[in-house]
Amino acid sequence: METSCNQNVLTNISEIQISYQPEFKASERPMITTSVEIYEVIKGHWNTDTIALKEEFKILLLNRNNRVLGLSHIGIGGMHGVYVDPKLIFATALKSWAASIALIHNHPSGGLKPSPEDINFTHRLVDGGKLLGILIIDHLIITPDNRYYSFADEGLI
């Protein structure tokens, strides 16, 4: 009796499917080679009504030719921080077949200096990306007054 009950439990599993359906041809997507280009792409996709109110975290996903695959909203927080789950970042990157990603978050206060937590978290993601073959090309901190800080430009990546 126990065997048939256990047998039924063993077949109670869900199928997982992964799909990615790009809307544009690769040649029609922006190409990213500098932090300025990351900033130019991302600033049009940030809500200017809330950039000074709450911290948000997004990733820009790129293919092997540095063409933008897409943008993903990862987290939203308060004035002083946002919780970001690395598993969500890498699951999104893997699902979209991204070869590299750029990390972007805002500082509502307008400060450009990365916090020690920002630096440590970025290094952890860089290390995780290496394990998966996904390059973290940059981490931008953007501000409400149209400025940004690039980890790559400052030698932190």
Condensed to tens digits (0 to 9), the pLDDT of residues 35-83 reads: 999 999 999 888 888 888 899 999 999 999 999 999 999 998 887 888 9
Predicted confidence at residue 41, as pLDDT, reads 93
9 part of a folded domain = no
14 part of a folded domain = no
User: pLDDT by residue (tens digit) across 116-131?
Assistant: 999 999 999 999 999 9
pTM: 0.85
Q: How many domains does the chain have?
A: 1
CATH of the domain at 71: 3.40.140.10
Q: Domain range holding 85?
A: 29-150
6 part of a folded domain = no
Positive or negative: CA dihedral 105, 35, 120, 59: positive
135 part of a folded domain = yes
Strand partners, 150: 140
Tokens of 12: 């109670």
107 part of a folded domain = yes
User: pLDDT by residue (tens digit) across 71-110?
Assistant: 999 998 887 888 999 999 999 999 989 999 999 999 999 9
Strands 68-76 and 56-62: antiparallel
Contact between 124 and 90 (Cβ < 8 Å): no
